[in-house]
């Protein structure tokens, strides 16, 4: 194990909106990138239209956690922010890259990204998210990175 | 101001790698999405090849902060993680969506995303990142979201 430190600075603690955060730095398995040997990755860009439950922060945290797990990815950190007036923005940082989400509940629209290098399977993450948020239509792009 | 709460759970505090985090929830300006009226956004996917300084966590935090500012975006939260053995993964969550980064210093490669809705200008974020990490080549994709 190497020397390490964590710097956390909450500059202003005035809480005017709700956020949820989980830090997961569990063991030596997450201290090295899961994709050190190659930078190649698969980045799925998924626009969900006609989706539901896009304003539930606890559900979103659970959905991102499940999406990472089902893709075979290692979760490092989740941060989810809800806006007053509606909408969620959030990210799950992975040892393999990230899953992100931005929602507009009033438009029944959500922008998901599942970007993963190595052996992780981002298409399984998107399928899981589809099963939870039940969009009537998905526009999906698959972009090779690295 | 509405009722709000923050839930922070550090499940395991064993610090085997280094992470940097800043929470910025500053004022009422960030409590509503900057793009509530429309979900349309511009998502720039930028692959940097032949780049330098890809393993410096403090520089990366500063770079993401500057990139958000120069794009005219509002920063909500930054989390950056460095891997033992090299490489950074990180995200800046914005009121307008996000900037993310994943680096492979040994390959001089970095995968940046700058996804912003509304009036923010993600191309300015990428230009700023280019000036800091000086890639010899960039592959850039511009994807309309929403």
DSSP A130: H
Comparing CB atoms, the residue among A23, A33, A79 nearest residue B87 is: A33
Taking residue A30's Cβ as centre, other Cβ atoms within 10 Å add up to 20
Indicate the angle between helix axes A122-133 and A57-70, nearest 10 degrees.
150
The label of the residue with tokens 């698969």 reads A42
In this model, does residue B137 exceed pLDDT 70? yes
| Interfacial B residues in 19-78 facing A (CB < 8 Å) | 19-28, 30-33, 35-36, 39, 41, 43, 45, 47, 76-77
pLDDT digit string, tens, across residues A65-123: 999 999 999 999 999 999 988 999 999 999 999 999 999 999 999 999 999 999 999 99
pLDDT digit string, tens, across residues B49-74: 999 999 999 999 999 999 999 999 99
In this model, does residue B2 exceed pLDDT 60? no
**Alpha carbon distance B117, B37 (integer Å):** 10
DSSP B127: H
In terms of phi and psi (left: phi > 0; alpha: psi -120 to 50; beta: otherwise), the region of B110 is beta
Q: What is the pTM of this model?
A: 0.84
DSSP 3-state of A125: helix
Q: What pLDDT score was predicted for residue B35? A: 76
Q: What pLDDT score was predicted for residue A107? A: 95
Q: Establish how many alpha carbons lie within 13 A of residue B34's alpha carbon, considering only the half-sphere containing its beta carbon.
A: 21
Comparing CB atoms, the residue among B6, B91, B95 nearest residue A98 is: B91
Q: What pLDDT score was predicted for residue A18? A: 57
Verify whether the Cβ–Cβ distance B39 to A109 is below 8 Å.
yes
Q: What pLDDT score was predicted for residue A38? A: 76
H/E segment holding residue A132: helix A122-133
Beta pairing class for A18-24 and A75-82 = antiparallel
User: What is the ipTM metric for this complex?
Assistant: 0.83
Q: What pLDDT score was predicted for residue B101? A: 98
Q: What pLDDT score was predicted for residue A112? A: 98
**Alpha carbon distance B19, A23 (integer Å):** 10
DSSP A105: G
């Amino acid at each position: 194990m190497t020397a390490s430190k964590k710097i956390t600075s909450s500059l202003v603690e005035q809480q005017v909106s709700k956020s949820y955060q989980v830090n997961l730095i569990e063991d030596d398995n997450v201290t090295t990138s899961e994709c050190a040997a190659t930078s190649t990755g698969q980045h799925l860009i998924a626009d969900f239209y006609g989706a539901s439950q896009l304003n539930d922060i606890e559900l979103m945290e659970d959905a991102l956690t499940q999406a990472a797990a089902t893709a075979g990815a290692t979760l490092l950190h989740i941060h989810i922010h809800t806006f007053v007036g509606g909408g969620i923005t959030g990210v799950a940082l992975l040892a393999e890259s990230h899953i992100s989400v931005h929602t507009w509940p009033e438009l029944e629209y959500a922008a998901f990204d599942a970007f993963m290098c190595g052996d992780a399977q981002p298409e399984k993450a998107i399928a899981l998210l589809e099963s939870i948020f039940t969009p009537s239509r998905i526009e999906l792009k698959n972009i090779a990175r690295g």
